[in-house]
Chains A and B, each alone.
Chain A
Amino acid sequence: MSYLSKDSPGEVNLLMGNEAIARGAIEAGVAFASAYPGNPSSEIITVLGSLAQELGIYVEWSTNEKVAVEAAAGASYAGLRSICAMKQNGLNVASDFISNAVLTGVGPGGMVLIVADDPGGISSSNEEDTRYFSRLLEIPLLEPAGFQEAKDMTAFAFKLSEETGLIVMIRSVTRISHGRGNVVYSKIEKGNKKARFDTGRTVLAFPVPWTHKILHDKMAVIKDKFEESDFNRYEGPKGADLVVVTSGAAYLYTKEALGLLGLSDRVGVLKLGTTFPLPEDFITRGLKGAKKVLVAEEVIPFLEASVKEAYANHVKDLGVIEFYGKASGHIPRENELSPDIMAQAIAGLTGTGYVPVDPAYQAEIRGLSLPNSPYRALTFCAGCPHRATYWDLKKALKLDGRDGFIVGDIGCYTIGLGPQGYSMLRTTHAMGSGSGLATGLGQLKTFGLDQPVLAVSGDSTFYHSVIPALINAAHHESNFTMVVLDNSTTAMTGAQPHSGSDTGAMGIPAHGLSIEKICESLGAKVRVLDPFDVDKSVQSIYDTIQDDEGIKVIIMRQECCLYRLKKDEKRYLMKIDETRCLGDACGCNRLCTRVFKCPGIIWDRAGKVARIDEVICNGCGVCTDICPEGAIIREVNHEA
């Protein structure tokens, strides 16, 4: 039994925020869970999947977020409690379904939607603030301000969903989802595990104004519940001059900042956990007597706008209040907040100062730290097949000489935008966007576009959203080459299985779908290559792009080295023959280190030779083929 599935009310455990959410779902008797992986949300489903058999629940990694949310809603219609998790970008994909489901309502089983945002874009291509979706689509919104709340809100959200028939959304952020903190357990409810679709009910959104009115009536009921919710509270002195209104992780930073400044008994904190629909009466009571209000939140001024709106509605009770926050420039509009940002903002408004460390020490250590801790650029792991793929593509495009180019999307291979992938990648947007762009670019021959067009995607992305673009391309006979970088996992987010894998989230056999068969069925010409076989790959890519009729698919197949290494040892033991290494005199000026750039090979300035770093090298053996002098020697590792 895992520490996450123990029915031990009162026990305290250190849980990751995502584990706390999973535990909340378990305590609520969840029966069905689905998601497409995306950081910082992925661990929720990983955890539930690993416990699925023990708990008798169903868990899947769905093909994409829209399918995931629909699958979870299906279970809800059959009376099961269901949960669906995604990162901020995922909600864009899933929102089409949700915008209808708010009018139809979900089923008798509650349905909870977890969206983990990533302020600062720590592991994302944007820092989209999904809280506006709650207003746009009209979904009740909860924002946990800690690990305990992450669990408790999840369990509460199921109840609220069942009472109202609406999807309830919880918005987490990276610092909550990926942080860890103490969580006190509650009892595990059994929950309904008997599924039945009620054929007496038709799920429909018509007539729209009528169902929309029902939604608004439900929202009014929910607002009344939120007015009484324990997730909202006022902390600090009564009638404080300055009140900080805050939610989510910003609450934790605010509390810490007040502690640092010694102002906990002078400044009030209005902590909100239910942020749509807004509990206006509760807020009005909390702001009574305040002269200044600072709204603290991350990214978009969502709360700031709502609280000002509430103030406008209650201005007679509240008198003149000055508002500070993003509009006034006291809180930044980009990136995460921190205790320091909050301390400076509050210090500014209270006329106190905040000096965290002796400024002379700080100036000195910063001055020394900067030049002596060299920047660590993101790179592919040593032995990553993507580095080899970009190398192969680079050589093939050079051989071709028609200024061919590559468009792409997000995943580990996005590193191809920078020097670590030889700057081969030209664009990156959403999941599968490279294939979509390429279907358009592949139609431009009549407008004079004579460059070879290539798109890259990962294997997981292929199933997620490349397939519709390929169908479009096949139907309209667009001319481009789709390169699928198949490393047999969803590497970027921690190696989750995908629709091509032969096991699923629950660790039991799944039907893995073949990328080549799917592509062949669309009439594409398909080649499967091993990127580590450099010469063959370069030639095949070159041959493929000479053919300028219709869609061509190249599958570059080689396992992600990070996850392969967890299973076995290095494939090759590498060494450098120093007598053969030409060093600076090497044809292309240190081809292996300066140009190929695998971090497993290092340039020894003093000795003027390349060396293998045995701690970093993962033994893929590719660099042997790169070195024109044959100085990099590989020996098969017999321990592997």
Chain B
Amino acid sequence: MKHNGAALAHDPTNIIIAGVGGQGNIMASQLLGKLLVTKGFEVIIGETYGASQRGGSVMSHLRVAGKGGISPIIPKGKAHYIIALEPAEALRVMGEYGNPDVRVLSNTRPIYPVDVSTGALDYPDLDNLKKIITDHAKETFFVDATDIALRVKTPILANIIMLGAFAQWGVVPLSVDEFKEAIRQSVPEKHLKKNIEAFEEGMRALAAS
């Protein structure tokens, strides 16, 4: 398989995009996956959603290979990158797929599980949560994606902001222009401007952190 000259840091590269139902996980994993296929890589995405529109955890396993041999499930402890749209989900995923070399990019805005919103359980202390993640990853970035998205009154754009941050991170062989082109192709015309702006906000947020 030819990869247009670009190289993968790991073969396969294992990326987990984690979040809560309705956060736009699948949109992000699909956009990234399609882009990598056009670059000549073999991609497999495994989605775990089931009935998770209804408040459950959602996880996309995005795997990129130069030479195949991959399945839709990343083996335990083998994630290279975790993109979390919600901070407790970052840690949940680390518990299963983390390793001392894992790199994490996480949104900071909690989405409360229903048992937390009812007051039956506590949400973990956010600073402590960030510290645990940071202490157990090789590299960690936190981006206030939802808060940035709320400024333009469109919280759903948090996933595009996170994608912008991911692009800025530069861990997959894809250029910023290629990301933008992929957004152009997958977002309806009337939402395009907002999406591109959100993407750029995400890039800036990472650069500033």
Q: Which residues of A contact B (CB under 8 A)?
A: 12-14, 39, 122-123, 147, 175-176, 178-182, 249, 252-253, 255-256, 259-260, 336, 338-340, 343, 356-358, 361-362, 364-366, 368-381, 412, 415, 420, 492, 562, 590, 593-594, 597, 599, 601-603, 605, 613-616
Contact = CB atoms under 8 A, between A and B. Distances in A.
A361 B91 contact: no
Given A357-B99, A362-B77, A365-B98, A252 B71 contact: yes
B78 A376 contact: no
B75 A376 contact: no
B75 A343 contact: yes
Interface string B81-117: 0000000110110111011100000000101111111
Contact of B114 (A343, A356, A420): A420
A381 B33 contact: no
Contacts of B192: none
Contacts of A380: 54
A369 B91 contact: yes
A14 B31 CA distance: 10
A599 B55 contact: yes
Nearest to B100: A361
A374 B55 contact: no
A175 B95 contact: no
B173 interface: no
Interface string B31-52: 0011001000011111111111
Given A14-B34, A369-B94, A614-B150, A179 B47 contact: yes
9 contacts: A175-B46, A178-B49, A182-B43, A361-B136, A372-B129, A374-B113, A597-B114, A597-B118, A613-B117
A356 B45 contact: no
Interface in B17-33: 20, 22, 30, 33
Contacts of B148: none
A179 B49 CA distance: 11
Given A180-B44, A256-B75, A599 B114 contact: yes
Contacts of B57: 376
Contacts, number: 190
Contacts of B56: 376, 378
A366 B117 contact: no
B142 to A, nearest CB: 15
B13 interface: no
Given A358-B99, A369-B95, A339 B73 contact: yes
A339 B114 contact: no
Given A343-B75, A373-B92, A615 B109 contact: yes
Given A123-B49, A374-B116, 6 more contacts: A12-B37, A175-B71, A358-B99, A380-B54, A412-B51, A616-B112
A122 B50 contact: yes
B122 interface: yes
B150 A615 contact: yes
Nearest to A375: B113
Contacts of A182: 37, 42-43
Q: Which 6 A-B pairs have the closest CB atoms?
A: A369-B95, A357-B77, A373-B92, A603-B119, A252-B71, A122-B50
B6 interface: no
B124 A373 contact: yes
B179 interface: no
Contact of A376 (B48, B55, B132): B55
A370 B95 contact: yes
Contacts of A253: 71, 73
Contacts of B55: 376-379, 381, 599
A8 B144 CA distance: 43
Contact of B75 (A39, A339, A601, A614): A339
B64 to A, nearest CB: 11
B99 to A, nearest CB: 5
Contacts of A179: 44-47, 72
Contacts of A370: 95
Given A14-B34, A179-B44, A256-B70, A368 B91 contact: yes
A256 B71 contact: yes
Contacts of A362: 77
Given A361-B99, A602-B117, A369 B75 contact: no
B75 A372 contact: no
